[in-house]
Amino acid sequence: MWIFTNQGFISAVADFNKQGNLLVRARAKEHLTHLFPDAVVQKTSDADYLYRVSIPQAEVAGVIAEQIQAIDYTNFKKSIPDDEYHAACSGVWHVMYRYQGEVEHGAGHDG
């Protein structure tokens, strides 16, 4: 699952090495340390996400729920304080906007 907050982007998948945990990955270490300040972040050059941490699924769910409950902005992109991360999120927004047009106009889709 990809999750974007105004402080960072994470990808969460099942941790096959530790049942009940999620492997939470990020492109930038601070995206993990912001959400999980007590976690020991591992760095690996053997995968596409450089930074990762194994965290109990319930803890990840709680942290994400807190992020949702703390939303006080009316425009997500404008709430992003980091310029480089803002540019990356804007790129994702543009790709998904283009995808919306393709879906709406039936380009290669059955719906």
Residue 70 CB contacts under 8 Å (≥ 6 apart), including other chains: none
Determine if the pTM surpasses 0.85: yes
Q: Which DSSP string do the residues of 1-49 spell out, in sequence order?
A: -EEEETTEEEEEEE-TTSTTEEEEEESSHHHHHHH-TTS--EE-SSSSS
As its CATH architecture, domain 1-72 has 2-Layer Sandwich (3.30)
Looking at residue 111, its pLDDT comes to 46
Looking at residue 106, its pLDDT comes to 79
Could you list the mean pLDDT of each consecutive 10-residue stretch along the chain, which spans 111 residues?
A: 98 98 98 97 96 98 98 98 97 97 76 46
Annotated domain spans of the chain: 1-72, 73-111
| Residue 9 CB neighbours (<10 A) | 18
